Amino acid sequence: QKEVEQDPGPLSVPEGAIVSLNCTYSNSAFQYFMWYRQYSRKGPELLMYTYSSGNKEDGRFTAQVDKSSKYISLFIRDSQPSDSATYLCAMSGGDSSYKLIFGSGTRLLVRP
């Protein structure tokens, strides 16, 4: 079993839709949770960072962490074609917080 599971997609939605992206994990020591956005032929760009459980909102983006279920989500409201990218979840914890464990990424396509 992978430490971090992420549906590869692709996920295709119409412009304006609410998008839900998710990851599950198995290591209960994880306490730092990140979402990265990666456009084609570019490096990952840090989008959201959450420590421990709870919600965090930044504009159209909301990150949720449910440590009891070992489940994290990224919601995108009013999705735009420019949101079309691969979204990577990443997490770490314990003494080795620098060791990010990544999901495989979900490819999102927002249709105009």
Q: Please, which residues have CB within 8 angstroms of residue 96's CB and are 6 or more apart in sequence?
A: none
Q: Rule CB under 8 A: say whether 8 interacts with another protein.
A: yes
Q: Rule CB under 8 A: say whether 34 interacts with another protein.
A: yes
Q: Rule CB under 8 A: say whether 102 interacts with another protein.
A: yes
Tell me if 83 sits within 8 A of 110, measured CB to CB. Answer: yes
Q: Rule CB under 8 A: say whether 46 interacts with another protein.
A: yes
Centroid of chain to Cα 45? 11
Classify 102 as helix, strand or coil: strand
CB-wise, 44 or 76, nearer to another protein?
44
CB-wise, 75 or 102, nearer to another protein?
102
Give me the residues paired with residue 4 across strands. 25
Q: Rule CB under 8 A: say whether 47 interacts with another protein.
A: no
Q: Rule CB under 8 A: say whether 45 interacts with another protein.
A: yes
- What is the spatial distance between Cα 48 and Cα 37, in angstroms, rounded to a whole number? 9
Interface with another protein (CB under 8 A): 2, 4, 8, 32, 34, 36, 41-46, 49, 88, 90, 92, 97-105
